[in-house]
Amino acid sequence: MDELDQKILAALAADSSTSTSRLARRFKVARSTVQARIERMERTGVIAGYTVKLGQALTLRRIRATVLLQVEPRTTPGILQRLKPMPEIETVHTTTGRVDLILSVTAETTQELDGVLDRIGTITGVRSSESMIHLATKFDRAV
């Protein structure tokens, strides 16, 4: 990746809906150059996909929590299989240390969050869980 690739990537990371024409004008290159570079980055896996970032109007109304799970040895694949269909679970990370999995969970209400936590707790192989409700985001580098 050269400097132009990095600029295109940064611009798309900030706003994936930016047109190739607009990127070409911004970086003073031909539109076909931008298009070819984007296609190459998609083909090589540098760009894995495009997504929508939810605005504050929606995200401020949602309750977010981090859930730490300790699991029985060799039960992680089965647990992941049970977690995957739950739309409230946005991400699952394996980790080192006293916990085995870190989950990012969102819900519309505390009752919905409580229900998700109950379902997680009943999964065979989950030894223990600890949940931390997010209160306020002070800054977010991903946005």
Q: How confident is the model over 101-128, as pLDDT tens digits?
A: 999 999 989 999 999 999 999 999 999 9
Instruction: Record the pTM.
Output: 0.64
- Dihedral in degrees, nearest 10, Cα atoms 93, 55, 141, 18: 110
Domains (ranges, CATH) in the chain?
3-43 (1.10.10), 56-133 (3.30.70.920)
Distance, CA of 20 to CA of 106 (rounded, Å): 34
Q: How confident is the model over 59-99, as pLDDT tens digits?
A: 556 899 999 999 999 999 999 999 999 999 999 999 999 99
